[in-house]
Amino acid sequence: MGSDRGAEMRRIAATLGAFLLGSCNLVPQPTLTACADPNNLPFSNRARQGFENKLAALIASDLHAQLKYVWWAQRRGYVRNTLNERACDFWPGVGSNVEMVATSRPYYRSTYEFVTRANSNLTGLTLDDPRLRKLKIGVQMVGNDATNTPPAHALAARKIVGNVRGYMLYGDYSAPNPPAEIVRAVERGDVDVALVWGPLAGYFAAQSKVPLRLEPVTPWLANNQWPMQFDISVGVQNGNYRLLKEIDGVLRRRSGEIHKLLAQYHVPVVDQ
């Protein structure tokens, strides 16, 4: 009886010792913190429903890291208050030529789109189409200075101003997905045509109760200075080349999945 009890105690001690030894050898899972807007579909929201949320999860999973978020509205000062403050590690959707951050290889290229109602006779529009001078036009605006969107500058350069209605890119942040308002304006008939950044145009046009038509804005380089197409990358802090290299690897390895993800969100993709 005593020998059996002693043997049992030795087995328990051996099991406990093995567990403790294994626990000492456990490596904590690294974390990756994404910077994201909590109210900005189709890109991101706090419920993690945007395609940039899905991309961030894919990157973290591929790198065997736990994904966390720092939520910040994408207003002026966004980079200063997120990446530059080292509050987060990466931004899943930034223009490839932005100098404030280090950027990955592009994972898609999109274009501004003419958005019209499908039953309108407005196919084949270009920035130089004379019909634009008589139509009610919606255009995305940032402000009244040089930071405005390329379509706003291109129309102004053609002296198409009086029949243009501006829709602020930042919009009414108290409402869900404020940039959607410009597409809804076409749906309601408030404007005849809107010039909208591709991912926004594709996503919200697909949800419209009224069939909408999308056509790329051409010429893609207006007045030899206002591009209508942009490459989009993942951004990291300047100097964080280790993480940048790792993210580049994920974008290469998972490119097929990323292309399918963009298609699910109706993102117009231009060949790079």
pLDDT in tens, 105-153: 999 999 999 999 999 999 999 999 999 999 999 999 886 554 689 999 9
State the CATH architecture for 109-227. Answer: 3-Layer(aba) Sandwich (3.40)
What gap in Å lies between CA 37 and CA 43, rounded to an integer? 8
Interatomic CA distance for residues 228 and 151, integer angstroms? 7
Class of domain 31-108+231-264: alpha beta
- Residue 90: predicted pLDDT: 97
Task: Spell out the domain ranges in the chain.
Answer: 31-108+231-264, 109-227
Residue 22 pLDDT > 70, yes or no?
Answer: no
Predicted local confidence at residue 27, as pLDDT = 60
pLDDT tens-digit series, residues 198-230: 999 999 999 999 999 999 999 999 888 999 999
Mean pLDDT score, 88-104: 94
Give pTM, 2 decimals: 0.86
Q: In CATH terms, are 31-108+231-264 and 109-227 the same topology?
A: yes
Provide the mean pLDDT of the chain. 90
Q: Which residues contact 169 (CB under 8 A, 6 or more apart)?
A: 140, 141, 142, 149, 179
**Which DSSP string do the residues of 235-253 spell out, in sequence order?**
EE-TT-HHHHHHHHHHHHH
Q: Is the pLDDT of residue 189 over 80?
A: yes
With contact defined as beta carbons under 8 Å apart, do 43 and 80 qualify? no
pLDDT for 3 equals: 55
Instruction: Give the mean pLDDT of 97-107.
Output: 94
| ω into 42 cis (within 30 of 0) | yes
Peptide bond into 219 cis (omega under 30): yes
Nearest partner of 185 among 208, 217, 214, 215, judged by Cα: 208
Please tell me the predicted confidence (pLDDT) of residue 54. Answer: 98
Give the integer Cα–Cα distance in Å for 187 and 210: 6
Percent over 70 (pLDDT), the chain: 87
